[in-house]
Each structure stands twice: as C-alpha cells, then as structure tokens.
Amino acid sequence: MIVFNGDFVDRGSWSVEVVLTLFAYKWLYPDRVFLNRGNHETNDMNKVYGFEGECKAKHGEMTYKLFADVFTSCKCLLWGKKRYFVVHGGPPVSQDGVLLEEVKKIDRFGRQPGQEGLMCELLWTDPQEQIGRGPSKRGVGLGFGPDVTRRWCELNKITAVIRSHEVRQDGYAIEHDGLCITTFSCPNYCDSTGNQAAYVKMQADGQLSYHQFAAVPHPDIKPMAYSSGFGGMMGL
C-alpha cells in the first residue's frame, strides 16, 4: 500500500504531470494507492500558487474545473496497522474530545475546507514545541503542542500521527515524544531550501523506517512559473 499525503500540486511547474501520474497509479492499483487531500488541493491555493494557471495554460479551463471536483473526493485521513493516523496537516485539535468517529463523518465531496472546522484543521494545523495551542504562522489553522497531541492520541487509541505539510531539513522529523511524525517528500523545495526529502515505510508489524533522497536536475523552468500571486486570489 502506498499513501501520498497531499500537496500534489502548486509551487512546482509540473503539477499537471505529477497529479496525472498519481491518478494513473490510483486507477491501476485502486486498492493499493491512496491519495490524501492536502491544503493545496483547494481552489484558493490553486489560484495563488500556480496549479490553476498551469492547468489552464496546458489543458484549458474545463480540465481545471474537473481537477477541482476530483480533489474534493480525496480522503483527508487514513490509518493502518497499529492505528497510525495519516493526515496532511494534523489531528483536529482546536478542542479536546474530538473522536475519530466524528472525523469519519465529514462530508468531503464537493466541499472546500474553509477557514475553520474539522476539515480545515486536518489540512492546516502544525505541531509546535510549546504546550497547549497557539496561533498558526499561516493565518489558517492553529499550532498544537505535545500535550495536545498526547491527549488526542490517548483518547482515540492512536499510536502516532504521521503528517506532512511542512518542510523538514532532513526530510522528516519525529516530534512530540514520538507521537507526531512529519515527512516531506519534495527535495530542495522551490529550488531554494536545500532540504532532503523522505518517505516513511511501514512494516507489516507496524514498525517504521525512514528513507531520505535528494533532488535531481530538472529543466530550467522556475518553480512557480504559472503562479498568479496573491493578486490572483483577489481577482486583480
């Protein structure tokens, strides 16, 4: 089983090719390939960070609208052996006591995550070192401390949260006393950060291993060649 944990598009200039490859694998191996939705599989982000412009330039507006519809069908979470909670941003932590059953009932089809609520938190939250909750550096979602992670995992009998959403210099990081694992599979993010990339491999018994890789040369096209910038979000 392979899980791609969101942010298939935007930032780069080959988002169309990347997401079509993922969809092809999903079509070929429907029971083995799973696509979790990230915060960049959303209309607002696509307008600002490049996917809308790229898709329209390469294949036209109707194709972009089709992609936007398909993105809403992607799951927001997955868990497997030993109950690992795999999600793009993080668990729903704006308040204590949220159960997995509530998360599973989210009606994701045709919906954008908005600025608050369970779906927004799954796609936008970030871990922080400080205990408790804090404002998000992104302006959407929030930060959650190790105590918040522990309470949520214990309540829902979760072994650990595996998430993405943030660059890590080594490609991955194990945080919150092992209860929050970040993995980031884009090396040298935006051709500027020099980071390694990594993926997590889970054995049949639930044991995890981490595998790093570096960037390879690509054609000389800027990472956000199709981006409209924040002016596009305001219709300017």
Any idea which residues carry the catalytic annotation? 40
- Distance (Å, rounded) from C-alpha 131 to C-alpha 82? 26
Q: By the 8 A CB rule, do 165 and 192 touch? A: no
- Distance (Å, rounded) from C-alpha 33 to C-alpha 35? 7
- Distance (Å, rounded) from C-alpha 14 to C-alpha 2? 21
E-state strands within the chain? 2-5, 33-36, 77-79, 84-87, 126-127, 133-135, 142-144, 160-163, 172-175, 180-183, 197-202, 208-213
In a 3-state reduction of DSSP, which class is residue 142?
A: strand
Tell me the backbone φ, ψ of residue 68, rounded to 5 degrees: -60, -40
